[in-house]
Chains A and B, each alone.
Chain A
């Protein structure tokens, strides 16, 4: 990988980060009135408001406010959460593993499921199965995450009672976090019961989060495979007597990788955004669940922290995806 490419990508990521700080700053300061008034509790005196203004650096010229805010953000200082009375960044980092675990589980489900369904729908093309996958693909794409979540809660949680619909782990298995990733924690503690409980709790929210992305991956894989199955060398392989399954699987795993990688990079932002509602619906103790509460309490330090952490996660993922893409596709590396 050329140094230039790497530097370019790093520059882009830094630029995006800078842009996000500007956006977060502008959205919260400039659009409506005085944030100090918004933050102040009902019946606050002028002195209280002045104090809030001083505490959050809301006095002085706007550019100085911005510089001070960015300097604080770089050091992870968003101030004290008004609602929880703790350092905002600490609250966020404590909950970050829960959100990442959910998002990663959904990502794995979406990619693995999308590739599998894509392969099967091409392998069994012109059967009822293909039509079914196409229908499900349209549904998966069009229906928003939170509706999937609510549907799952009604069917698998309330009616069938197959899977738990709230929290990350059954209360009897509660434990002090090691890494914060409960799947890893329970494995480290060699506690199969707890591991099973974590997995069961993870399935519904992760599936709800994954479905739209799964549909996108499925379509990409399918379209790529459909082009492939008629190419000359595949026809050649078929004539050599290779089985259809082997041809498609070999082809799929090799060639669907590159488009899927970029796609996942683009779509990861949607996935991360989806955690806000999914966590609220499934009482998942991550940042997403925190977000709605933070807005309800007008907890600006917490909100700023959440927006920045979410954006950093997305930017970092896109950066890694770009690197992965260059690694897989030599053409990009030297372009």
Chain B
């Protein structure tokens, strides 16, 4: 939902056919370099995020929720603030650096939790739909169509309003909205895979459909799943921020970039950093997961190797 949900389209672009000529003028070396740049960028951002999340209790100078009304809206050090609060404080005097670091925990948990669950629900649906085709496919894909005709953001907000706030509920809402993404893409891939010789061979030696799905098709879907998962993590982090921004995300006591952005917006004209810093953290994270996804896609999908050359 990138949102927009950002609505990123995880479908690989169709392979260019016969892209000789000008496009291949580039050497393979520069091609590799560029593909690696995306991947390396994504991996580095992902690692930093995970480290921040795991080490937050040791890295943070203050309790993220400790209020200090004698030191509210302090600027970051480079704007004349004190080293005690390197990135300044918010309107309740809470240390922004500590809150930013603790928020990365929510981001990581939502990214991993929601993505895993969405994949676990969406993948079997896609497998069954694509493998059996016919009526099963029609029914399942109609369900997916209907599901998708409610705008994702609206559905997520509606679910949260009904479920109530909380980390697990955020994850549940994102999963309920986004499992369709996996189902759709996996189905498309299975439709193509099931016609290949190795699947036909398995059918010929009498393997049952579910065994073929689990033992022949699923391993071949792993590269696609990895790519989808990284892109989904970006979406999940964005949706969590959005929900927390409107007050329908994690509990108020848990720091989250979304709620920090909302708080910072309240005193934007007094101190721009209160809103900008969590926004920056969110943007870097989301872009990082996207780079990871795109880098992996270019690396794992041989059809795209040539396209990356451009």
- Do A and B pair up? The answer is yes
Question: Could you tell me which A residues sit within 8 Å of B by CB distance?
Answer: 12, 15-16, 19-20, 23-24, 27-28, 31-32, 125, 138-147, 150-151, 154, 158, 212-213, 216, 219-220, 223, 226-227, 229-230, 235, 263, 266-267, 269-274, 276-277, 280, 291-292, 295, 298, 303, 306-307, 310-311, 314-315, 318
Q: How far is the CB of A94 from chain B (nearest CB, A)?
A: 19
Q: How far is the CB of A137 from chain B (nearest CB, A)?
A: 10
A314 to B146, CA, bound (A): 10
Give chain B residues whose Cβ lies under 8 Å from the Cβ of A144: 1-6, 238-239, 241-242, 286
Whether the pair B279, A274 counts as a contact (CB closer than 8 A) is no
Whether the pair B234, A142 counts as a contact (CB closer than 8 A) is yes
Q: Which interface residue of A266, A295, A303 has the most chain B CB atoms within 10 A? A: A295
Give chain B residues whose Cβ lies under 8 Å from the Cβ of A269: 7, 148-149, 151-152
A21 and chain B: residue at smallest CB distance: B146
Whether the pair A270, B13 counts as a contact (CB closer than 8 A) is no
Whether the pair B283, A147 counts as a contact (CB closer than 8 A) is yes
Give chain B residues whose Cβ lies under 8 Å from the Cβ of A229: 22
Whether the pair B145, A273 counts as a contact (CB closer than 8 A) is no
Whether the pair B157, A292 counts as a contact (CB closer than 8 A) is yes
Question: Could you tell me which B residues sit within 8 Å of A by CB distance?
Answer: 1-9, 13-14, 16-23, 142-143, 145-154, 157-159, 161-163, 234, 238-239, 241-242, 245-246, 248, 261, 265, 268-269, 272, 275-276, 279, 282-283, 286-287, 289-291, 294, 307, 310
Whether the pair A154, B275 counts as a contact (CB closer than 8 A) is yes
Whether the pair A295, B157 counts as a contact (CB closer than 8 A) is yes
Whether the pair A273, B152 counts as a contact (CB closer than 8 A) is yes
Q: How far is the CB of B168 from chain A (nearest CB, A)?
A: 14
Whether the pair B2, A27 counts as a contact (CB closer than 8 A) is no
Residue from A15, A31, A151 in contact with B162 in the complex, judged by beta carbons closer than 8 Å? A31
In terms of DSSP, what is the predominant structure of the interface of chain A?
A: helix
Q: What are the 5 tightest A-B residue pairs by CB atom distance, in nearest-first order?
A: A273-B151, A19-B146, A270-B7, A273-B153, A142-B290
A141 to B246, CA, bound (A): 22
Give chain A residues whose Cβ lies under 8 Å from the Cβ of B290: 138, 141-142
Whether the pair B265, A150 counts as a contact (CB closer than 8 A) is yes
A312 and chain B: residue at smallest CB distance: B149
A211 and chain B: residue at smallest CB distance: B6
Whether the pair B23, A295 counts as a contact (CB closer than 8 A) is no
Whether the pair B150, A154 counts as a contact (CB closer than 8 A) is no
A212-B2, A216-B7, A295-B161 known; A227 vs B151 contact (CB < 8 Å): no
A280 to B245, CA, bound (A): 11
A19-B146, A219-B13, A270-B152 known; A139 vs B287 contact (CB < 8 Å): yes
List 16 other contacts, CB 8 Å, given A15-B142, A16-B142, A314-B150.
Answer: A23-B150, A24-B150, A138-B291, A144-B3, A144-B241, A212-B7, A223-B307, A230-B22, A263-B9, A270-B2, A271-B7, A291-B154, A307-B150, A307-B154, A310-B151, A314-B151
Whether the pair B268, A158 counts as a contact (CB closer than 8 A) is yes
Q: How far is the CB of B153 from chain A (nearest CB, A)?
A: 4
Q: How far is the CB of A156 from chain B (nearest CB, A)?
A: 14
A227 to B310, CA, bound (A): 11
28 pairs of residues in contact across A and B, judged by CB atoms under 8 Å? A16-B142, A27-B158, A27-B159, A32-B162, A138-B294, A141-B6, A142-B290, A143-B283, A144-B1, A144-B4, A145-B3, A150-B261, A150-B275, A154-B268, A154-B275, A158-B269, A226-B19, A226-B23, A229-B22, A267-B9, A269-B149, A270-B7, A271-B7, A273-B152, A273-B153, A277-B242, A291-B157, A298-B161
A309 to B72, CA, bound (A): 44
Whether the pair B310, A226 counts as a contact (CB closer than 8 A) is yes
Give chain B residues whose Cβ lies under 8 Å from the Cβ of A318: 149
Whether the pair B154, A310 counts as a contact (CB closer than 8 A) is yes
A139-B287, A158-B269, A291-B157 known; A15 vs B4 contact (CB < 8 Å): no
Whether the pair A20, B150 counts as a contact (CB closer than 8 A) is yes
Whether the pair A212, B6 counts as a contact (CB closer than 8 A) is yes
Residue from B1, B2, B5, B20 in contact with A230 in the complex, judged by beta carbons closer than 8 Å? B20
A145-B2, A269-B148 known; A213 vs B279 contact (CB < 8 Å): no
Q: How far is the CB of B170 from chain A (nearest CB, A)?
A: 15
Q: How far is the CB of A93 from chain B (nearest CB, A)?
A: 18
Give chain B residues whose Cβ lies under 8 Å from the Cβ of A216: 7-9
A273 to B13, CA, bound (A): 25
Whether the pair B151, A295 counts as a contact (CB closer than 8 A) is no
Whether the pair B6, A276 counts as a contact (CB closer than 8 A) is no
A150-B279, A273-B1 known; A142 vs B286 contact (CB < 8 Å): yes
A125 to B22, CA, bound (A): 10
A177 to B181, CA, bound (A): 40
Q: How far is the CB of A56 from chain B (nearest CB, A)?
A: 16
Whether the pair B150, A310 counts as a contact (CB closer than 8 A) is yes
Whether the pair B5, A270 counts as a contact (CB closer than 8 A) is yes
A16-B145, A19-B146, A146-B242 known; A272 vs B6 contact (CB < 8 Å): no
Give chain A residues whose Cβ lies under 8 Å from the Cβ of B153: 273-274, 276-277
